[in-house]
Amino acid sequence: MIAKLSESVRKNIRDVLLAVIFVAVFTVFCYFVEYSLIISLFLLFLGIHLRCCGKGTLKTFLNLGLLLTLILFTAHIISYYTDWPAYYIPVAGIAMLTMLLFNDLHLSFLMGLASSVLVSIFLHGDFGMMLTFFLGSLAGAYSVRDARARDQLISAGLFVSVIHLICLVLLNPNFSMFLDKGFSRNYIYPLAASGFISAFLVVATLKIFEQTFHVLTNFSLLEIADSNRPILKRMALEAPGTWQHSLTVSQLSEAAADVIGANALLTRAGAYYHDIGKIAKSEYFTENQMLTDNKHDYIEPSMSRLVILNHVKEGIELARKNKVHPIIIDFIPQHHGTSLIYYFYQKALEVADEGKIVSEENFRYPGPKPQTKETAIILLADSVEGALRALDDTTPTKIEETVKKIVNNKFIDGQLDECSLTLKEIDKISSTFIRILSAMYHARVKYPEKKNGNSIRKSTEKGNTQPSPDSQDRRDNPSS
C-alpha cells in the first residue's frame, strides 16, 4: 500500500513539474516575441482547473496545450506575415477537434474559451472578437458531437459560419456598414469563410492527431468495425460459430452502452475483436463444433484449461500482428477479467485423485479485470450470451432469471470492482440484455399440419375464397 501510494505521489510530482516546465517554456516564448505574459498565467490556471475536475492528467494537458500552441502559431503567422483579416483564423477548429478526439463537452467548452481568449489577446482584439470566436467554437463543437460521417463536419463548418455572421450582425446593429466594401472584406467574407476553413482543417488533420494522441474517433472505430477487415473475414471463415457469437455480443453490448451513456461504437468494435484468439484452435470451442465431437472429452481438464486460457494470449498476439489499436486490444484480456473457468475446474475436481488439491487460481484467467465501462459491458454480455446458448428452455422468465444470475455472480466475484459502473447502470445493463434476448428467442406461432392435400380445395368449395393461414404463411415465406 505504501509503495503504491509513494508511486502515485511521485507520478503527481512528475506531472506537476512537467506542466510547470511547459508553462515556463511558453512564458519565455511570449517574452521574446513580446506577447503578454498573462497568457502563461491563463494556461497555468487552465491546467489547475483540469486537475481539479479530474481530467488533468499530464497527457491530456500536453495534448490540449499542443492544440492551443498550434492555433496561436497560426494567429502569429497570419497577423505578422500576411495582410489577411484576423477573422480568417480557424479558431472553431480547435473546439471541433477536441470534441472529436476526446468526446467531452466540458473539455470542448474549455478549449473553445481558451483558444478564443488567447487568439484575441494575441491580436489585441476586443471583447466582440473573443465572443464571436467563442460562440462559433461552441457551435462547431456541438455540431460534431457523435459525428460518424464526414459530411457532418462540413455541416458543422456551415453552422459555425452562420453563428459568426449572426454575432457580427448583433455587434454591429448599424446595417449601413454592411454595404461598405472594406467592411465586407475585413469582416463578412472572413467570418463566412472561417467556418469552412475550420471544417477543412479538421478533416485534413484529424487522422494525424489521432495517431499523435493515441485516441480513437468515431471515424476510426467505424473503419475498425468493418467486417471486411482481413482478421474479421478470417474469423468468419475459420471460426464461424465464434463470429456469430461475437455479432450477438456486439448487439447486446452496443445497446447496453447506449442506455448508460458509454461509448456504444467503441463497445461494438471491441465485441468484434474480443474472441479473435479462438481462430488458432477454433475446433476446441463449442460454438464451432457443429459436425464434430467435443475435443475436450478426450483430454485432461488441465490441458483443456491451457487451451482455453491461451485464446486470450493468442488473441493479443494476433491483434498486434494485424496492427489493431491498443484500445481495442484491451478488450481481449479484460472481457474475461480474472473469472473462473468453472466447467473445467469442476471437471478437474471430479477426476482428481483423493487427497489431491486442485487450485482454483490455476483455473482463473490472468486478467486484468475490466478497467472501463465498455470492457465491463463486454464481459457481462459475453457471459450472458454463452449461458443462454446452453439453455434448453429459453422462455422470457428463464432468460431473465439467467441474466440476473450471471450478472450477480460477476459482481459478487469482484469482476466489476475496477471499472466505474454504478449499481444503477448494472441494473440498466441487465434490463437491456433481458429485453434483447427475449426478442431473439421469442416463441413462434405453431400452425396446424395439413392432414391431406385437399384442405385448400375443400374450403374453396364451401365458398371461402381465402386460403388457410398455413398456405398464406408459406406463400409469404417460401423458405418456411
Q: Which amino acid is at 54?
A: G
pLDDT at residue 331, rounded to an integer: 96
- Cell (9 digits) for 255: 445497446
Query: Residue 141, Cβ neighbours under 10 Å: how many?
Result: 26
**Cβ partners under 8 Å of residue 96, min gap 6:** 137, 140, 141, 143, 144, 153, 156, 198, 199, 202
Nearest to 219 by CA among 205, 231, 232, 233: 205
Nearest to 340 by CA among 296, 394, 301, 377: 301
- Output the CATH code of domain 15-215: 1.10.1760.20
Alpha carbon distance 127, 143 (integer Å): 24
pLDDT at residue 181, rounded to an integer: 85
- Cell (9 digits) for 313: 494470449
**Cβ partners under 8 Å of residue 314, min gap 6:** 277, 279, 280, 281
Alpha carbon distance 92, 122 (integer Å): 16
Cβ pair 421, 372 in contact under 8 A: no
Cβ pair 382, 335 in contact under 8 A: yes
pLDDT at residue 460, rounded to an integer: 46
Q: Domain segments of the chain: what residues?
A: 15-215, 226-440
- The pair phi, psi for residue 455, each rounded to 5°, is -65, -40
Q: Which amino acid is at 466?
A: Q
Condensed to tens digits (0 to 9), the pLDDT of residues 200-218 reads 999 999 999 999 998 999 9
DSSP per residue over 387-443, as a string?
HHHT-S---HHHHHHHHHHHHHHHHHTTTTTTS---HHHHHHHHHHHHHHHHHHT--
Is the preceding omega at residue 368 within 30 degrees of 0, hence cis?
yes
Integer distance in angstroms from the first to the last C-alpha of the chain?
64
- Cell (9 digits) for 415: 469482476
Alpha carbon distance 133, 82 (integer Å): 20
Alpha carbon distance 31, 420 (integer Å): 44
Alpha carbon distance 220, 222 (integer Å): 5
Mean pLDDT by runs of 10 across the 480 residues of the chain is: 55 68 75 74 80 75 87 88 91 96 92 93 89 96 91 94 94 81 90 94 94 92 93 94 95 96 95 94 84 75 88 95 94 94 84 77 91 96 91 88 95 93 95 94 67 51 46 40
Alpha carbon distance 457, 15 (integer Å): 85
pLDDT at residue 56, rounded to an integer: 63
* Class of the domain covering 226-440: mainly alpha
Helix axes 2-32, 38-52, angle to 10 degrees: 160
Cβ pair 254, 267 in contact under 8 A: yes
pLDDT at residue 121, rounded to an integer: 87
